[in-house]
């Protein structure tokens, strides 16, 4: 049985990995309904009973958002190294190898060119299943390349984030991915490019404190946890009773940090509409 891999600072409210003791990943944590995988996939991994938004893997997200057959992946060959020779209970390279085998991804992000509702754009999609969507050197580099590719092609960037924050196993280099990605967004903006940031559950810590918060338009999925520090740590530090919706998208929109909460069924048309508004060559069709 696989050990649970924790890389995020926040555990509460995060999707649980499948183990014998844990509920099945297709069982809704909110209402307890259970679904076949194809049922859930068909409904964009939203619970038909209670509208709970399940986690979406990166490739499935691309299928949900991009016009069929338009996605062209970039920089798929990037892999993490182990600059700190980091060893906690297990060596970092072992955790990386295990994550690659179990997710089929090289790291926690997939980038590439795509078309959404007939508007060309660049996609940067994070995957929480790969070490909690944590940002190390590869995630930072691939996000920057997505910005550069968007600027070169003169198209907007659509970023979908799902991350527990910076990856501890790359130490201070992970922290440096915050300013690195921020600089890439600023270069994109200087080149006249737009960035649409979609925050999925969870978008926390280092990713929230860098590129995810810099979208020209920022929206979140319903119920997503969007917090620099998650509820468990805030509770421990302050010993105060937290509001029921602490850190959730619904709280963030009241405090003015979001442009909207967009349900997954509306996400693609919403992105299409926004992209057309930013598309200088749009011919009005």
Residue ranges in 22-41 that form contacts with another protein under rule CB under 8 A: 25-26, 37
The site string for another protein over 119-138 (x = CB under 8 A, - otherwise) reads -----------------xxx
Residue 70 interacts with another protein (CB under 8 A)? no
128, 211, 270, 278: residue in contact with another protein (rule CB under 8 A): 211
Other residues' Cβ atoms within 10 Å of the Cβ of residue 203: 30
Say whether 11 sits in a helix, a strand or coil.
coil
Nearer to another protein, 168 or 262 (CB): 168
Q: How many CB atoms lie within 10 A of CB 216?
A: 17
Which CB atom, from 98 or from 117, has the smaller least distance to another protein?
98
By DSSP bridging, strand 157-163 and strand 217-220 are: unpaired
Nearest 10 degrees: Cα torsion 92, 225, 61, 137: -30
Please, what is the Cα angle at 258 between 164 and 223, to 5 degrees?
A: 55
Residue placing its CB nearer to another protein in the complex, 9 or 261: 9
195 near 161, Cβ under 8 Å?
no
Residues 144-203 that bind another protein (CB under 8 A): 144, 166-168, 170-180, 182-187
Of residues 120 and 203, the one with the C-beta less far from another protein? 203
CB of 109 to another protein, least distance (A): 12
Q: ∠ CA 20-25-29 to the nearest 5 degrees? A: 105
CB-nearer residue toward another protein: 103 or 120: 103
- Which token pair is 157? 């960037």
Q: Is the Cβ of residue 54 or residue 120 nearer to another protein in the bound state?
A: 54
- What is the rounded distance in angstroms from the CA atom of residue 198 to the CA atom of residue 76? 22
Find the shortest distance in angstroms from Cβ 242 to another protein: 6
13 binds another protein (CB under 8 A): no
User: Segment 84-103, which members bind another protein (CB under 8 A)?
Assistant: 84, 86-89, 100-103
């Amino acid at each position: 049985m696989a050990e649970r891999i924790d890389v995020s600072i926040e555990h509460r409210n995060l999707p649980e990995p499948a183990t014998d003791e844990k509920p099945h990943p297709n069982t809704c944590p909110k209402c307890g309904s259970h679904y076949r995988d194809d049922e859930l996939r068909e409904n964009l991994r939203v619970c038909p009973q209670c509208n709970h938004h399940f986690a979406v893997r990166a490739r499935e997200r691309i299928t949900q958002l991009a016009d069929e057959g338009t996605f062209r992946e970039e920089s798929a060959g990037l892999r993490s190294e182990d600059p700190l020779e980091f060893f906690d209970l297990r060596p970092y390279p072992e955790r990386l190898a295990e994550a690659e085998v179990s997710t089929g991804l090289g790291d926690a992000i997939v980038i590439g060119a795509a078309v959404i509702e007939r508007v060309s754009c660049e996609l940067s999609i994070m995957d929480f299943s790969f070490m909690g969507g944590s940002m190390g050197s590869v995630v930072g580099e691939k996000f920057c390349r997505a910005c550069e590719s968007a600027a070169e092609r003169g198209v907007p960037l659509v970023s979908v984030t799902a991350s527990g924050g910076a990856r501890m196993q790359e130490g201070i280099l992970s922290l440096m991915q915050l300013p690195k990605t921020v600089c890439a967004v600023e270069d994109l903006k200087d080149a006249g490019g737009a960035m649409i940031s979609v925050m999925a559950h969870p978008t926390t810590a280092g990713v929230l404190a860098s590129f995810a918060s810099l979208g020209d338009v920022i929206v979140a999925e319903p119920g997503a946890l969007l917090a620099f520090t998650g509820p468990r740590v805030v509770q421990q530090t302050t010993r105060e009773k937290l509001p029921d919706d602490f850190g959730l998208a619904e709280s963030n929109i009241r405090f003015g940090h979001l442009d909207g909460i967009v349900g997954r069924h509306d996400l693609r048309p919403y992105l299409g509409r926004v992209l057309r508004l930013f598309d200088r060559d749009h011919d009005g069709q």
